[in-house]
Amino acid sequence: MRSLLTLMVALAAFATMAAAVQIDVTTDPPLDAANLVRNADMEVAAGAEADGEPADWALSTAVPENFTADWPEGSGRNGSRALHLIAHDKVMSGYWNQVVPVTPGDYLFRGFYRTVSGRLLLYAHGRNTEIEPPVGVDARAYHGSSVASFLVPVFIPLEALTGPDPDTYYPFAVKVTVPEGLEQVTLSMGLYFTPGEVWFDDVSFGPAQVDLKLRVSGDGEQLEKVTVFQDEVEAPVYSSTDDPTCPAGRPLPEPFEVTVPDVPADGSYLIVAKTVGGELHRVHFPEEAQ
């Protein structure tokens, strides 16, 4: 993806019209600053040749002839580049990978894949056998699809399949706990002993939890309430009405600033600001952080 994720949301959110309310959302640490992956958007070439190999990524497999690995223009999430991999046979797995430095703690390996067919394995792995006892990590996520198989639909009805749409990028996420003594892990994304085809884009590897920092300005309108919801979590992760620093029955300070600590770095959040006049202003993070 050519443009980096913008980490600060500066949206003038208009609801039923009236005054503008500005909701700024950042994280600490900033998501891309905390991203340990190099060439995370797959746009940088290794060396001077723009069409050469992708910088920082390499193919790893015991049977290279089983794979076609390239980096085509126009295949990424925004029409730019993505890592591409075809496994011709199931004789061997193969992965795009790079090694990143780590310190002990919880990380999140995430990114986006699009697949036509095949069993995908996304995993972060590493081992240090030079200390006693050896330490290591092997955190995995599998995804896959067979919709493009030549067996579909005559032999495999579409309704028999589970799996993603072949034209859509989907997110993946792998939680990784790095133990003491491990100084680096390998991030691998590829096809696990199946024939198939996949593209990878916009990968990150960073802390599993971040602090969500909000700054909401009424721009002349007084704010009654700010609430933060996380997708697929029923209770809000933050509500100013439950915040002892926000006295009940009084407008919120202008601008209203708050930090929501230790939220999952891979979460999707809805921030809702309500004015004293009853207008609702909403922002999705990070989706509307483009």
Partner 1 sequence: MTKLPIVALTLALLSLACGALAQQSINAANLTLRWDEAAGKVLATSAFDPELVTGLNLHVYDGRLDAALPLAVEEVSVAGGMMTVRYSCPKPITIVAIFSGHLEGLIVNVMVLNAGEEQEWLEPALDAVLGDVAGLSVFDGHTVQEQPQEQFGDSEFFGRMQICSAWNTDASLGLGLAASEIRSWFDHFYLPPTDERPAILSTSTRLVLDAGQDDSVSFWVASRPGEWGFYESLDAYYETDPSLFDRGSDVDPRVDLGGAQYRAWLAGSKFSPEICRRLYAGWEWCYAPFRRTGDIVGRERFWDYQPAREPSGPRAYSREEFLQWREGHFEAGRACDTVMGFYVPAQVWCEEQLAREVYPDALVEDPNTRTLFTTPWVTGHDNERLVFPYKTSYGEQSRIDMREVAEELDLRAFAFDTAGGNGKYRGPALPELDGRAWDDDGVYCRSNVAIAHLMQFVHSLQAQDGTQLAVLSNPNPRCAYSAVVWSDSLMLEGEPWKVDRTYGDSLRWMAGQKTLVWWEGYAPETFVDLEQASDEQVAMLIRGLADFTLLQSFRIGYIPPSNFTQGVGRLVEWLPALTDCVTTGWQPVTAARVPEPLWATRYGDGLDALICVAHEVDASPEIEVAIESERFAEGAVLFTDYDGSQRTNMIVDGESRIAILVPKRTPVLLRAQAQVLPADAITQAVVSADLGLTGGDLTLRLTGRGEATVRVRVPEDLEIVSARLNGAAVAVEGDAVTIDLAGEGELRVQMRSPIFRGSERALIDFPFANEAGATSTIFLADDAGEMEQYLAERLLLYFDYWYGRIGAGEESQIPIMRGEPIPPTGGTVLIRTGAPESRVEVVNGALHIEARDDAELKRIFMRYLRALDTKYWAADLGVGASWLRRAKGDDPWLTWPETD
- Strand partners for 137: 126
- Given a contact cutoff of 8 angstroms between Cβ atoms, the answer to whether 275 and 281 are in contact is yes
* Window 183-222: residues binding partner 1 (CB under 8 A): 193-195
The nearest distance, CB 163 to partner 1, in angstroms, is 7
Closer CB to partner 1, 150 or 249, in the complex: 150
The nearest distance, CB 155 to partner 1, in angstroms, is 4
* Window 119-158: residues binding partner 1 (CB under 8 A): 119, 142-144, 146, 149-151, 153-157
The full 3-state SS of the chain, as one line of letters, equals CCCCCCCCCCEEECCCCCCCEEEEEEEECCCCCCCCCCCCCCCCECCCCCCCCECCCEEEECCHHHEEEECCCCCCCCCCCCEEEEECCCCCCEEEEEEEECCCEEEEEEEEEEEEEEEEEEEEEEEECCCCCCEEEEEEEEEEECCCCCCCCCCCCHHHCCCCCCCCCEEEEEEEEECCCCCEEEEEEEECCCCEEEEEEEEEEEECEEEEEEEEECCCCCEEEEEEEECCCCCCCEEHHHCCCCCCCCCCCCCEEEEEEEEECCCCEEEEEEECCCCEEEEEECCCCC
* 68 counts as binding partner 1 under rule CB under 8 A: no
The nearest distance, CB 167 to partner 1, in angstroms, is 19
Closer CB to partner 1, 159 or 167, in the complex: 159
Closer CB to partner 1, 55 or 141, in the complex: 141
The nearest distance, CB 115 to partner 1, in angstroms, is 12
The nearest distance, CB 89 to partner 1, in angstroms, is 5
AA identity, residue 88: H
Q: Compute the distance between CA of residue 42 and CA of residue 285 in angstroms, rounded to an integer.
A: 23
# chain residues binding partner 1, by CB under 8 A = 26
44 C-beta neighbours (distance < 10 Å), count: 14
The nearest distance, CB 144 to partner 1, in angstroms, is 6
Identified binder of partner 1 from the candidate list 132, 162, 234, 248, rule CB under 8 A: 162
Which of these segments, 24-32, 159-167, 169-177, 181-189, binds partner 1 (CB under 8 A)? 159-167
Closer CB to partner 1, 76 or 118, in the complex: 118
* Window 71-100: residues binding partner 1 (CB under 8 A): 88-90
* 248 counts as binding partner 1 under rule CB under 8 A: no
* 159 counts as binding partner 1 under rule CB under 8 A: yes
* Window 101-120: residues binding partner 1 (CB under 8 A): 118-119
Q: Which residues here bind partner 1, judged by CB under 8 A?
A: 62, 88-90, 118-119, 142-144, 146, 149-151, 153-157, 159-163, 193-195
